[in-house]
Structures are given as C-alpha cells and as structure tokens.
Structure 1
Amino acid sequence: MRFALPTGRGRTGVLLAAALLATGGAVTATSSAASAAACADVDVVVARGTSEPGRLGIIVGDPVYSAIQRRLIGATSSSHAVDYPASVSPTSVTAGNRALVEHVTAQAQECPDQRFVLVGYSQGANVVGNSLGISSQGAAVGGPVVATIPAAVQPRVAAVLVFGYPLRKLGRGITGVYAERTLDICANRDVVCDPRGASTLAHLSYGDDASRAAAFAVGRL
C-alpha cells in the first residue's frame, strides 16, 4: 500500500524527520564551496539548524538560496554554509559565531564590493544574532557573543533572515543597526520561537517562507 506525503509545511516536516531517522539523528553537513566566483556580487551565508541535513539546510538554507538566485537579476551570487557543529553541545553556537564572523571578514577583505545576506535557522539564527552582537545566552542552544562583524563591514550586510529564532521565546530579537535589515519569521505555535508555542511541526515549516524571504533580501541589495 502506498501513502501520499502531505504537501506544504507538513511535507517539509516529514522529509526532515525521515532524514533524521535514517541517520540516527546525528546529521552533519560539510562546509560548502562558493557556488559562483569567489567575488560574486552577493554572498549568502547560511547557518543551518541543529542536526539539519542538506548542503545549506533542507528546511531553510537550500530553498531560500534557490529563491534568491531566481530573483537576483543582473547580479552574481555565491553561498557559504557556516562550518560549525550545529549540535546540542554548549559550545556549538560559539563555534558557529566565530566561523561566521571569520568568513564574512575574510570575504570582505578579499572582495571589496561584495555584499552579504545572512541566513539563520533555529540554532543557526542564534549564530547569526551572536555575530551581530545579540547574545543568545539563556535561549535554547544559545551562548555568549564571542565575535562580531567588524563595524566597517556592517553597511555591506544588506539583509538578515532568521527563522525559528530561539531568542524570540524570551521576547527578544535583532536590534540596533541591523533591525531594519532583518526579517524575523516565527511560525505560529513554533515550539522554539513562539512564547506560547508547543508545535515541533511548526518549527519544521519554514521552507514555505523561502519566496517571501528572498523578496525581502533582494529588495535590499
């Protein structure tokens, strides 16, 4: 007997659950090479969620980058997966924080005209927030700020996209100079980011928001 997979947000959750079960829940993603020239016009830097499979992350990173590529007319893009454990280790977020800042700083020096879109999902949103100077200590799989994007590079961060941001559970989010450049998406009832949420499936639903997020990012480039 064959069963049809659900569509939309439900399908995304099923696919991730199946991937995690198939690997015993211990999924790691290797650091990806830039998908275009080293000095593309735009570098999309993605911090995936805890144990999330996929090149950039099947829930958020992969669909969001694909959507950005479709909308980005007349410009080149590259993508980078932040090289960090994305595990429940208490040092995972701080490792990601360092890795993200090191990558953006190095790219900014190598490619003076390059701009950046930062993308973070779940624990990866904590990584992105920390890199902007917003501590995630006290949040789920959070940690203190150990590195921040240099002030000289701040104007080149065109957009920040965070999904299922654990800091939202504490009533906090991205503030300061990056606030107007940030799209913070928290699904209704998401157990990780909604203060009243209890739904794991809601936390796995963000692939459906890829087009909206890409429009926001490209509109600020």
Structure 2
Amino acid sequence: MRTRRIRFRIRSLCLAVLTVTACAAGPAVLPTPAASAATCSDIDVVVARGTFEPGTLGLVVGDPAFSALQKQLTGRSLSGYAVNYPADLSATSAAQGNADLVDHVRTQAVSCPGQRFVLVGYSQGANVVDNSIGISSDGAVVGSPIVATIPTALEPKVAAVLLFGNPIRALGRSVTGTYESRTIDFCAKGDPVCENGGNDVPAHLGYTADVDAAAVFAAGKV
C-alpha cells in the first residue's frame, strides 16, 4: 500500500510541479547535448530521466547536470544521450531503460573505443542505472529485475555514476562492488522515494541543487 501511495503522490506532484516549472521558465537557455552520441566525444553523459520528467535529458537533473559537467570538464568534448524508455509507471518501464542503456554503452564502445561514460540517473532513472551496473532495483518504487548489465570488459570505461533520489535506498540497498568508489548517490532528507519513512514529497524535486557537487565528483574520476 505504501508503494502505491508514493507512486500516486509522486505522479501527481511531478505532473503538476514540473509542468508549471517548464511553463514558467519559458524559452530558457539549456545545454544542447547531442540527441545521441554518434560522434566520438571524450565523455558520453548517459542520462536516465525521472518518471514523467520533461527536458532534453531531464529538467530536474539531466539538463542541469550536463551543463555542470561541461563547466567542470573544460578541454574535453562531451556528448549526451537520453536513455530511450517510457519513464512511466508501467511494470516494464525501468527494464526497458536498463536494456537501452546497456545497449547504448556497448554500441558506443565499439564505435568509439577511447570514449568514457558518466552515467546519470534520477528517480526511476536511478533504478535504470542501478540495474545496468548490476544492482537490482526489483521491489523498489518503479523498479524492475535486472535484464542487462554493462559487460565486465567495459566497466573501466564508466568513469562516474551520479544518482539522485535513488529508490533502492528506501530498501536499504546501495551501490556496492565494482562501481562503489565511482558512485555518488544523493538522497534528500525526507524524500519518500529514497528514504524509508520519508514524507516530504517536494524534496524529491530539489536535486538540481546537487548537480554541481555531482559534477565536481565526476571531474575527479574522469
């Protein structure tokens, strides 16, 4: 029942707040990452947006994070890839994102052998990233079983993993193992998506404030 309640509250709040934010912002100047990383940039920023999140890579986290990374990683070329998945409340949404993210990394590694990756996941998108690096989000809000993982041979190409409002944390899980030292995982106080017993739903929409810190972390890993 708690999971259903959280899903309903987040869906309602995200639709209302994000729509108002997007409309109020007007024609804001946002970074312009490539729709896909077809060219061989130095760093490919792969972003899985949150549930119902608008924006090129995501209004709350993805677009601001890409901009922050551009500022930190001066002298290096960046491309951006928006994980192709529904980002809705369907049972297979996160699994579709998981499959697409892994497929993208594998394809890019063949086309651009020297390219490295920064993986970014917000809310349901954090589930997508978790699964892709071998940490199951099954049982979490808008989570799913793992359907694909980044091959062991490609793990060194992942420079950093940036997670925001990660639903597995409400289950007491976190990123461990191979990617642990390359991961930073933000959970706002009271955010019910990532904090067990949290009841501050608007906290889940405040992660734009953390993207600069995330970019500094990533810059230290690239």
Q: Secondary structure at 1:129's aligned position in 2? A: helix
Moved over 6 A (4+): none
User: Aligned in 2, Cα 1:14/1:143: closer, same or farther, shift over 3 Å?
Assistant: closer
Q: Structure 1: how far apart are the matches of 2:164 and 2:121?
A: 6
The 5-angstrom pairing of residues 34-73 of structure 1 reads: 34=36, 38-73=39-74
Could you say which structure has the higher helix fraction? 2
Q: Identity over aligned residues, as a percent?
A: 57
Q: Structure 2: how far apart are the matches of 1:21 and 1:63?
A: 17
Query: What whole-Å deviation, never above 9, does each CA across 1:149-181 have from its counterpart, x for those lacking one?
Result: 011100010000000000000010111100000
CA contact (8 A) 1:191 1:198 kept: yes
Q: Secondary structure at 2:152's aligned position in 1? A: coil
Q: Could you tell me which amino acid in structure 2 is paired with residue 88 of structure 1? A: L
The 5-angstrom pairing of residues 18-97 of structure 1 reads: 18=20, 33-34=35-36, 38-97=39-98
Q: Secondary structure at 2:46's aligned position in 1? A: strand
Query: What whole-Å deviation, never above 9, does each CA across 1:169-206 have from its counterpart, x for those lacking one?
Result: 00101111000000000001001001131111100000
Aligned residue number for residue 135 of structure 2: 134
Q: Could you tell me which amino acid in structure 2 is paired with residue 57 of structure 1? A: G
The TM-score, its normalising length taken from structure 1, stands at 0.86
Q: Could you tell me which amino acid in structure 1 is paired with residue 177 of structure 2? A: G
Q: Secondary structure at 2:153's aligned position in 1? A: coil
CA contact (8 A) 1:183 1:216 kept: yes
Q: Within the alignment, does 1:205 sit opposite 2:206 as a pair?
A: yes
User: Aligned in 2, Cα 1:21/1:73: closer, same or farther, shift over 3 Å?
Assistant: closer
CA contact (8 A) 1:13 1:204 kept: no
Q: Structure 2: how far apart are the matches of 1:172 and 1:129?
A: 10
CA contact (8 A) 1:13 1:201 kept: no
Q: Structure 2: how far apart are the matches of 1:52 and 1:14?
A: 11
The TM-score, its normalising length taken from structure 2, stands at 0.86
User: Aligned in 2, Cα 1:147/1:203: closer, same or farther, shift over 3 Å?
Assistant: same
Q: Could you tell me which amino acid in structure 1 is paired with residue 71 of structure 2? A: R
Q: Structure 2: how far apart are the matches of 1:165 and 1:216?
A: 17
Structure 2, gaps ≥5 residues long: 1-13, 25-32
CA contact (8 A) 2:34 2:79 kept: no
Structure 1, gaps ≥5 residues long: 1-11, 23-30
CA contact (8 A) 1:43 1:78 kept: yes
Q: Structure 1: how far apart are the matches of 2:15 and 2:87?
A: 18
Aligned residue number for residue 102 of structure 1: 103
Q: CA RMSD in A?
A: 2.2
Q: Within the alignment, does 1:161 sit opposite 2:162 as a pair?
A: yes
